[in-house]
Structure 1
């Protein structure tokens, strides 16, 4: 499960918007919004990898975002 709050925080921390990130990774802005809001398909490995590169995430940050074990 993706930790969307951490992902959004990293986007802001890097001075980007969701639209900027979408352009950087080559997906439509609305597609990225849907994936972040869980109303679309989950992130692919390729997309997660591109997001990590675009946001310059460390391995630990990437693990915390894309492999979070949040329990309700």
Structure 2
């Protein structure tokens, strides 16, 4: 499960839009928004985002544990 709020923050910090990131990973903005909504991306998409956004600790964003109550 992805921490989408952290990912959105990183995208904004880099001066990019979610549409920019979608284009870089090869999907439509609509598909990107849908993936953000459910918090799931493919490993190839994650690798591109890690490089594009210069993420130092990808596990903190892309591999967050699922918490149940």
| Residue in structure 2 matched with residue 26 of structure 1 by the alignment | 26
| 1: CA distance, partners of 2:30 / 2:24 | 14
- How far residue 70 of structure 1 moved from its aligned partner, in angstroms, is 4.9
| 1: CA distance, partners of 2:8 / 2:24 | 15
* Root mean square deviation, CA, Å: 1.5
| Residue in structure 2 matched with residue 66 of structure 1 by the alignment | 62
Q: TM-score, normalised by structure 2?
A: 0.88
| 1: CA distance, partners of 2:65 / 2:48 | 22
Give the paired residue count.
Answer: 68
Structure 2: which 5+ runs fail to align?
none
